[in-house]
């Protein structure tokens, strides 16, 4: 790579709805912790539409995109074989030529939040696809704090045998179009499912031990942990509100965890849009053969109320995932309506400046727990990759009936794709910068 070469990139121009493909300089290492990545595929994500529509308050043009997979082509001076031992291992082991994926935000790997696993709240967090951190919808992208941010895929996949990797794959290795799901939507869905099923108020149903014995923290003198032996006490009733890509991933992750643990459950997957319900139903029917301890039903908002009432004798769900990409007040109100006393509501979408639609008395009266916030993608990567590898029947597909990826196109179609995606005329689009 020569420093003077130009590259192609997708740029957004203010104030809104203005997407152009332009020649810009290839980024170079600017800081010892930087990497430059040659992009193999970049995703168009629902949250790119905030920028596209001009609602982010950004006033200068920028290179779009926060989902990308690629290959390391240049590294800063921090990436020497001998680095101080308290740096994350990628600062010593990342090499030119490594196949990598990136979360949608920068994480240093070294601050308290990164070490504890709350990587999306890294002290140096930056969102790709903004003026100060040019995005991945380009032929090359500079990755700050690359030792904390990038995942080295070959190392992560080394835990799997060739048979495991190829068992359910039509392609010999995981395709880039599949790996790209790890940048955002798949870990976010896994995080939503994990947060809800791992909540102390859900654990009695997961472990068949009543609260608080269901917790690992408790150790009590002379107290034998009792066991829940009535099947009706441990069957999990779950609602997922919103069947966009994150909601679908959350459902698949839920089904996967519940199946692995052999738990009884009923899951209602809710969306007002029929096409989304149909896609979820197709995905479920493809994966349902080995799901014998429960079932998923898709429903409109109205139908979901009746279904949950009937399933639970009017009591409500143990767990409600609010997985609309842009969390909104009516989805939160529905979540409260559907949740039972001592239930959990998990919300992984970004929210607006409106007050949340709950009174203190409502939250008290139902003993509700709420978990809000962005997925720590970097920390959830192992769980998400594991699901991706085992569920290639779903996540390996492009353009098919169950695919989360609608099509892969070249940059020349960028403006059209943003337009169509904004109007809901197409599903998830990936850009191949070299097509």
Measured CA to CA, the distance from residue 50 to residue 327 in angstroms comes to 13
Of 134-173, binders to a second copy (CB under 8 A) are 158-160
Rg (CA), the chain: 22
Q: Which is nearer to a second copy, 363 or 408 (CB)?
A: 363
- What is the DSSP secondary structure assignment for residue 133, as one 8-state letter? B
Of 250-279, binders to a second copy (CB under 8 A) are 257
- Shortest Å distance, C-beta 276 to a second copy: 22
- Tell me if 57 contacts a second copy by CB under 8 A: no
Options 341, 400, 410, 424; binder of a second copy; rule CB under 8 A: 341
- Shortest Å distance, C-beta 254 to a second copy: 12
Report cis status (omega within 30 of 0) of the bond before 15: yes
- Shortest Å distance, C-beta 132 to a second copy: 18
Q: Which is nearer to a second copy, 184 or 406 (CB)?
A: 184
Q: Which is nearer to a second copy, 280 or 387 (CB)?
A: 387
Residues of 360-398 as b/e, b for ≥16 C-beta within 10 angstroms?
eeeeeebebbbbbbbbbbbbbbebbbebbbbbbebbbbe
H/E run at residue 345: strand 339-347
**How many other β-carbons are positioned within 10 Å of the β-carbon of residue 15?**
9
User: Which region among 48-56, 131-139, 346-354, 402-410 touches a second copy (by CB under 8 A)?
Assistant: 346-354
- Tell me if 299 contacts a second copy by CB under 8 A: no
User: Which region among 62-70, 177-185, 285-293, 352-360 touches a second copy (by CB under 8 A)?
Assistant: 352-360
Q: Which is nearer to a second copy, 5 or 159 (CB)?
A: 159
- What is the DSSP secondary structure assignment for residue 224, as one 8-state letter? P
User: Which region among 18-26, 46-54, 108-116, 396-404 touches a second copy (by CB under 8 A)?
Assistant: 108-116
- Tell me if 376 contacts a second copy by CB under 8 A: yes
Closest CA to 190 of 332, 343, 405, 391: 391
Question: Tokens in use for 328?
Answer: 């909104």
Closest CA to 373 of 130, 119, 146: 119
Options 68, 79, 104, 113; binder of a second copy; rule CB under 8 A: 113
- Tell me if 13 contacts a second copy by CB under 8 A: no
- Shortest Å distance, C-beta 120 to a second copy: 7
Q: Which is nearer to a second copy, 259 or 366 (CB)?
A: 366
Q: Looking up tokens 């921090």, which residue turns up?
A: 78
Site string for a second copy, 74-103 (x = CB under 8 A): ------------x-----------------
Please name every residue paired with 74 in a beta bridge, in sequence order, or none if there are none.
36
Q: Collapse the DSSP code of 219 into the 3-class scheme (helix H, G, I; strand E, B; otherwise coil) and give the result.
A: coil
- Shortest Å distance, C-beta 199 to a second copy: 7
Of 190-219, binders to a second copy (CB under 8 A) are 194-195, 197-201, 203-206, 210-218
- Shortest Å distance, C-beta 419 to a second copy: 28
- Shortest Å distance, C-beta 161 to a second copy: 10
- What is the DSSP secondary structure assignment for residue 411, as one 8-state letter? G
Do residues 282 and 269 make contact, with C-beta atoms less than 8 angstroms apart?
A: no
- Tell me if 369 contacts a second copy by CB under 8 A: yes
- Total interface residues for a second copy by CB under 8 A: 79
H/E run at residue 378: helix 377-390
Please name every residue paired with 92 in a beta bridge, in sequence order, or none if there are none.
none
Residues of 214-228 as b/e, b for ≥16 C-beta within 10 angstroms?
beeeeeeeeeeeeeb
Options 49, 165, 356, 409; binder of a second copy; rule CB under 8 A: 356
Measured CA to CA, the distance from residue 50 to residue 109 in angstroms comes to 28
Closest CA to 320 of 330, 332, 329: 332
Q: Which is nearer to a second copy, 7 or 195 (CB)?
A: 195
- Tell me if 380 contacts a second copy by CB under 8 A: yes
Options 6, 30, 154, 365; binder of a second copy; rule CB under 8 A: 365
Q: For residue 142, how many C-alpha atoms fall within 13 Å in the half-sphere facing its CB? A: 19
Q: Which is nearer to a second copy, 18 or 371 (CB)?
A: 371
356 phi-psi bin (left φ>0, alpha ψ -120 to 50, beta other): beta
Q: Which is nearer to a second copy, 290 or 353 (CB)?
A: 353
Please name every residue paired with 22 in a beta bridge, in sequence order, or none if there are none.
9
Options 281, 301, 363, 415; binder of a second copy; rule CB under 8 A: 363
Do residues 191 and 380 make contact, with C-beta atoms less than 8 angstroms apart?
A: yes
Site string for a second copy, 16-55 (x = CB under 8 A): ----------------------------------------
Q: Which is nearer to a second copy, 117 or 424 (CB)?
A: 117
């Amino acid at each position: 790579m020569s420093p003077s070469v130009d590259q192609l990139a997708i740029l957004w121009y203010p104030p809104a709805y203005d997407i152009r493909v332009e020649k810009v300089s290839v980024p170079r290492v600017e800081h010892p912790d930087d990497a430059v990545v040659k992009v193999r595929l970049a995703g168009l994500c629902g949250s790119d539409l905030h920028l596209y529509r001009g609602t982010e308050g950004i006033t200068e043009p920028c290179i779009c995109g926060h989902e990308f997979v690629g290959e390391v082509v240049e590294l800063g001076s921090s990436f020497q074989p001998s680095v101080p031992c308290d740096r994350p291992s990628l600062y010593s082991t990342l090499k030119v030529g490594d196949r990598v994926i990136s979360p949608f935000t920068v994480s240093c790997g070294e601050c308290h939040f990164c070490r504890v696993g709350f990587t999306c709240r890294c002290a140096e967090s930056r969102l790709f696809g903004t003026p100060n951190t040019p995005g991945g919808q380009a032929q090359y992208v500079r990755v700050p704090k690359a030792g904390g941010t990038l995942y080295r895929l070959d190392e992560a996949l080394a835990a799997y045998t060739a048979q495991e990797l190829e068992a359910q794959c039509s392609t010999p290795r995981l395709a880039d179009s599949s790996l790209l799901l790890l940048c955002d939507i798949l870990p976010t869905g896994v995080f939503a499912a994990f947060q809800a099923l791992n909540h102390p108020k859900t654990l009695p149903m997961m472990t068949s031990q009543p609260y608080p014995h269901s917790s690992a923290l408790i150790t009590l003198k002379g107290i034998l942990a009792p066991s829940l032996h009535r099947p009706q006490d441990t069957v999990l009733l779950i609602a997922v509100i919103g069947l966009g890509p994150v909601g679908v991933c959350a459902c698949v992750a839920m089904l996967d965890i519940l199946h692995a643990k052999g738990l009884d459950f009923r899951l209602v997957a809710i969306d007002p849009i029929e096409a989304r319900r149909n896609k979820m139903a197709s995905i479920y029917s493809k994966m349902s053969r080995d799901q014998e301890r429960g079932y998923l039903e898709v429903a409109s908002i109205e139908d979901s109320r009746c279904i949950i009432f009937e399933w639970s004798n009017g009591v409500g769900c143990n767990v409600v995932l609010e997985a609309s990409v842009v969390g909104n007040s009516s989805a939160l109100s529905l979540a409260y309506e559907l949740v039972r006393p001592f239930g959990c509501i998990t919300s992984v979408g970004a929210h607006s400046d409106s007050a949340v639609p709950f009174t203190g008395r409502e939250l008290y009266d139902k003993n509700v727990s709420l978990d809000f916030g962005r997925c720590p993608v970097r920390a959830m990567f192992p769980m998400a990759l594991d699901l991706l590898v085992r569920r290639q029947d779903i996540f390996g597909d492009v353009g098919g009936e169950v695919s989360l990826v609608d099509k892969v196109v070249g940059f020349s179609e960028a403006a059209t794709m943003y337009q169509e995606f904004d109007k809901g005329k197409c599903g998830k689009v990936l850009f191949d910068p070299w097509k």
